[in-house]
């Protein structure tokens, strides 16, 4: 059944709102909500989904223009049509510039009002559909990005494992792409037409985990008024991904072991077990072998899960992939936030390539998303606040590719040395908040020499004062 559109009419003249409501109702099959002030309109909008707003400009209290701004702050895509009286045409033009869909001048004929409203609703439908499609498009690129050796080895393993039905344990630090890898495995397997159900084990209260995983029969506990299938049954014909499996409580570990061995589930409160055709993928950031030694993880379950394993590299070990990842996340952010794609300056890219990234690829993604949102310009400048390794841990050249590697040795050496010195000084001054004596002590360079070097590189220690 097609759902009706909902129209919100706003005017501080009660009679006019009621008259309008009757006229529209006679011509168009839609739900109508009415408000006699902008404040009431906002309250209605907060409580009901609305497809189109028709509001007067001149109202006592908050006027139509302020209402338009407030509406668009909450939902920038909602179509708003303004009604203008004598002398408010200019305001209406301003309103169009501010994002109103259209305006209609009073007094208006009924058919021109209906025509304008129909156009507004059609516009709303197109905008919503467009949004829906672009959301699907943004979400439908679950591919892993990266061409480094370790990432290529991961792709090769995914290709091999996708052909099989074996249980795979995906290990790696937080944010390294374990869930994305599980999805890639499912999507490239013959089960791709079936569901992929992700269970974040620690997110479910321990008391509910069993019934959530295996389902329950009516009467299994108070409140179980009918049978309910669990995640395993929902994943029938597809894949179940058990994220953070290391947090699974011991009693449930035995039950999971049974599923792995027998391919059978036993809903809570039921005597009947049922066969399931589900592939199991699991992930953990913990050291399961250590947990086995500590007797907090069952050894037999560990061996069953670990039939094949994949270990995701931390970002610091695949720094050469950072430029590709940066491009990918700039595209993704532009797509998701429906904004123009930004660029990163070369200095910022250098910074990104050296940052420690304890939160791995997720942290890089979040950082870039934040920078895109916070930067007005097309190019994101270097961010001196990006956290880096402390000086003794800095690994200047082993991790970042050599610039201009085809230059003769002497020239290349000079370039590399200049780059190293600039980066070193930048880091040193940041670390010491521009305090030259402290920087001299830390670097082992005489104070005066250090000042000379800083000047030669046209840097200014005072710029680093007062920063963290």
Taking CB under 6 A as the criterion, the residue among 123, 362, 387, 422 binding ligand ATP is 362
| 365 sits near ligand ATP (criterion: CB under 6 A) | yes
My answer on whether omega of the bond before 107 falls inside 30° of 0, hence cis, is: yes
Stretch that binds ligand ATP, among 168-176, 384-392, 416-424, 446-454 (CB under 6 A): 168-176
CB of 143 to ligand ATP, least distance (A): 7
Stretch that binds ligand ATP, among 177-185, 248-256, 371-379, 446-454 (CB under 6 A): 177-185
Taking CB under 6 A as the criterion, the residue among 64, 120, 177, 314 binding ligand ATP is 177
| Nearby residues of 122 by Cβ (< 8 Å), 6 or more positions away | none
CB of 55 to ligand ATP, least distance (A): 40
What tokens does 142 get? 């679950």
CB of 154 to ligand ATP, least distance (A): 8
| 361 sits near ligand ATP (criterion: CB under 6 A) | yes
Helix 409-431 with 436-443: angle, nearest 10 deg: 130
Taking CB under 6 A as the criterion, the residue among 42, 180, 257, 391 binding ligand ATP is 180
CB of 177 to ligand ATP, least distance (A): 3
Give the residue among 88, 87, 70 at the shortest CA–CA distance from 78: 70
Taking CB under 6 A as the criterion, the residue among 51, 179, 247, 431 binding ligand ATP is 179
x/- contact string, 130-149, with ligand ATP (CB under 6 A)? --------------xxx---
CB of 179 to ligand ATP, least distance (A): 3
Residue with tokens 């390539």: 353
CB of 171 to ligand ATP, least distance (A): 9
| 246 sits near ligand ATP (criterion: CB under 6 A) | no
Residue with tokens 């250590």: 290
**67-86: contacts with ligand ATP (CB under 6 A):** none
| 431 sits near ligand ATP (criterion: CB under 6 A) | no
Question: What's the longest Cα–Cα distance across the chain?
Answer: 88
CB of 188 to ligand ATP, least distance (A): 15
x/- contact string, 310-339, with ligand ATP (CB under 6 A)? ------------------x-----------
Q: How far is it, in rounded angstroms, from Cα 103 to Cα 82?
A: 4
CB of 341 to ligand ATP, least distance (A): 16
| Nearby residues of 448 by Cβ (< 8 Å), 6 or more positions away | none
| 178 sits near ligand ATP (criterion: CB under 6 A) | yes
Stretch that binds ligand ATP, among 167-175, 250-258, 273-281, 386-394 (CB under 6 A): 167-175
Taking CB under 6 A as the criterion, the residue among 21, 34, 105, 174 binding ligand ATP is 174
Residue number with CB closer to ligand ATP (124 or 333): 333
CB of 402 to ligand ATP, least distance (A): 24
| 285 sits near ligand ATP (criterion: CB under 6 A) | yes
Query: Which position's Cβ is nearest ligand ATP?
Result: 177
Residue number with CB closer to ligand ATP (105 or 174): 174
Residue with tokens 């001196």: 384
| 304 sits near ligand ATP (criterion: CB under 6 A) | no
**Number of residues forming the site for ligand ATP (CB under 6 A):** 17
Cα angle at 431 between 428 and 437, to 5 degrees? 70
Residue ranges binding ligand ATP (CB under 6 A): 144-146, 172, 174-180, 243, 285, 328, 361-362, 365
């Amino acid at each position: 059944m097609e759902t009706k559109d909902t129209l919100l009419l706003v005017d501080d003249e009660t009679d006019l709102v009621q008259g309008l409501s009757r006229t529209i109702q006679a011509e168009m099959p839609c739900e109508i909500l009415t408000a006699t002030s902008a404040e009431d309109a906002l309250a209605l909008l907060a409580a009901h989904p609305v497809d189109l707003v028709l509001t007067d400009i001149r109202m006592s209290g908050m006027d139509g223009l302020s209402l338009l701004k407030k509406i668009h702050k909450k939902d920038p895509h909602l179509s708003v049509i303004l009604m203008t009286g004598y002398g408010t045409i200019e305001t209406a033009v301003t309103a169009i510039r501010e994002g109103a869909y259209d305006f209609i001048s009073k007094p208006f004929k009924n058919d021109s009002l209906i025509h304008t409203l129909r156009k507004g609703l059609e516009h709303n439908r197109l905008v919503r559909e467009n949004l829906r499609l672009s959301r699907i498009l943004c979400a439908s690129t679950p591919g892993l990005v990266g061409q480094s050796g370790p990432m290529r080895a991961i792709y090769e393993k995914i290709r091999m494992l996708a052909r099989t039905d074996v249980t795979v344990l995906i290990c790696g630090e937080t944010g390294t792409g374990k869930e994305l890898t599980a999805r890639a495995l499912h999507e490239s397997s013959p089960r791709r037409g079936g569901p992929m159900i992700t269970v974040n084990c620690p997110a479910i209260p321990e008391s509910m985990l069993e019934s959530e995983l295996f389902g329950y029969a009516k009467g299994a506990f108070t409140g179980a008024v009918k049978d309910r299938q669990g995640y395993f049954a929902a994943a029938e014909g597809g894949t179940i991904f058990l994220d953070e499996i290391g947090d699974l409580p011991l009693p449930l570990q035995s039950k999971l072991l049974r599923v792995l061995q027998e391919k059978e589930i036993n809903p809570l409160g039921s005597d009947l077990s049922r066969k399931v055709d589900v592939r199991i993928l699991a992930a953990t950031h913990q050291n399961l072998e250590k947990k086995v030694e500590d007797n907090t993880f069952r050894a037999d379950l560990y061996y069953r899960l670990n039939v094949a394993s994949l270990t995701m590299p931390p970002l610091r070990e695949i720094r050469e992939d950072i430029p590709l990842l940066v491009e990918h996340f700039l595209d993704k952010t532009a797509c998701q936030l429906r904004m123009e794609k930004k660029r990163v300056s070369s200095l910022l890219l250098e910074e990104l390539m050296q940052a420690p990234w304890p939160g791995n690829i997720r942290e890089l993604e979040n950082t870039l998303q934040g920078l895109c949102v916070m930067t007005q310009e097309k190019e994101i400048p270097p961010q001196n606040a990006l956290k880096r390794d402390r000086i003794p841990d800095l690994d200047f050249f082993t991790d970042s590719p050599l610039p201009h590697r085809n230059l003769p040795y002497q020239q290349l050496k000079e370039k590399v040395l200049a780059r190293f010195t600039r980066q070193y000084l930048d880091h040193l001054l940041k670390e010491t908040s521009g305090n030259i004596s402290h920087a001299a002590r830390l670097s082992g360079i005489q104070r005066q020499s250090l000042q000379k070097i800083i000047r030669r590189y046209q840097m200014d220690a005072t710029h680093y004062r007062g920063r963290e």
